[in-house]
């Protein structure tokens, strides 16, 4: 990687360079500088852990979104319903969606932890009490659960990729498998 950067007249900031690996590896050096191995690294705003649990990333989302929900709760009596929806879609939902096609596949406890954030937002917007089931509140807003939303976002990404609407480097990760008929299979 460092050689590629040098050839392309770019430089690597060694002090900001880290790596994580699923298994223990020998030390890595660039220009006689040891690169620090970490258990978790942040890349393009997504926290990636060596065990791929995504718990650190979900914790990051939780810390970002919770204060925004507190703010929504404080202002909900001063703004109308549509403004609360706009605030949610502009400031909260992007945190819940960002990078989800990469980090989806959470264990059930993390799925619940991130879903609670959307449920809280829906309760704030609709001014619903705790006796109303969150599924009913989401339905009243015409919102799918975050798990359903991640599925839709992944599906849309795959469709874009198959239709050549993503960078070529992403398309090259996947190969289209030609369908074979039953007759071809037998011969």
Q: Are 96 and 18 found together in one domain? A: no
In a domain, 140, yes or no: yes
Q: Are 53 and 107 in contact (CB under 8 A)?
A: yes
| Selected residue with higher pLDDT from 38 and 138 | 138
Same domain? For 106 and 164 the reply is yes
Residue 130 falls inside a structural domain: yes
Assess whether pLDDT exceeds 90 at residue 139: yes
Residues 14 and 98 in one domain: no
Residue of 75 and 130 predicted with greater confidence? 75
Are 27 and 65 in the same domain? no
Same domain, 89 and 142: yes
Q: Are residues 73 and 144 in the same domain?
A: yes
For residue 28, tell me if it sits in a domain: yes
How far is the C-alpha of 160 from the C-alpha of 176, rounded, in Å? 14
Q: What value does the mean pLDDT of the chain take? A: 86
Question: Domain check: are 83 and 7 in the same one?
Answer: no
Number of domains composing the chain: 2
140: domain range? Answer: 52-171
| Structure-block tokens of residue 32 | 């006689």
Average pLDDT over residues 125-150: 95
Q: How many residues are listed for the chain in this entry?
A: 187
Cα–Cα distance measured from residue 119 to residue 123, given in angstroms and rounded to the nearest whole number: 6
- What is residue 94's predicted lDDT score, i.e. its pLDDT? 97
The torsion angles phi and psi of 97, rounded to 5 degrees, stand at -95, -30
Q: Is residue 115 part of a domain?
A: yes
pLDDT at 169 over 80: no
pLDDT, tens digit, 9 for 90 and up, residues 32-65: 888 777 788 888 888 888 788 899 999 999 999 9
Same domain as 163, residue 97:
yes
> How is residue 41 annotated by DSSP?
E
With 0.85 as the threshold, say if the pTM is over it.
Answer: no
pLDDT of 184 over the 60 cut:
no
On whether both 83 and 23 belong to a single domain, the answer is: no
pLDDT of amino acid 30: 80
Q: What does the pLDDT read at residue 39?
A: 80
């Amino acid at each position: 990687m460092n050689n590629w950067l040098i050839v392309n007249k770019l430089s690597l900031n060694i002090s900001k360079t880290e790596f994580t690996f699923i298994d223990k590896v020998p030390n890595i050096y660039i220009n006689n500088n040891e690169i620090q191995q970490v258990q978790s690294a942040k890349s393009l705003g997504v926290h990636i852990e060596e065990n791929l649990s995504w718990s650190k990333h979900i914790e990051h989302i939780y810390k970002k979104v919770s204060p925004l929900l507190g703010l929504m709760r404080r202002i909900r009596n001063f703004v109308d319903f549509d403004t609360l929806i706009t605030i949610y879609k502009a400031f909260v939902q992007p945190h819940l969606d960002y990078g989800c096609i990469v980090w989806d596949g959470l264990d059930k406890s993390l799925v619940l932890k991130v879903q609670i954030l959307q449920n809280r937002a829906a309760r704030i917007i609709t001014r619903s009490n705790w006796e109303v089931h969150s599924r009913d509140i989401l339905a009243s807003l015409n919102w799918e659960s975050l798990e359903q939303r991640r599925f839709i976002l992944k599906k849309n990404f795959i469709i874009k990729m198959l239709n050549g609407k993503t960078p070529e480097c992403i398309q090259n990760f996947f190969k289209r498998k030609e369908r074979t008929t039953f007759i071809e299979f037998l011969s």
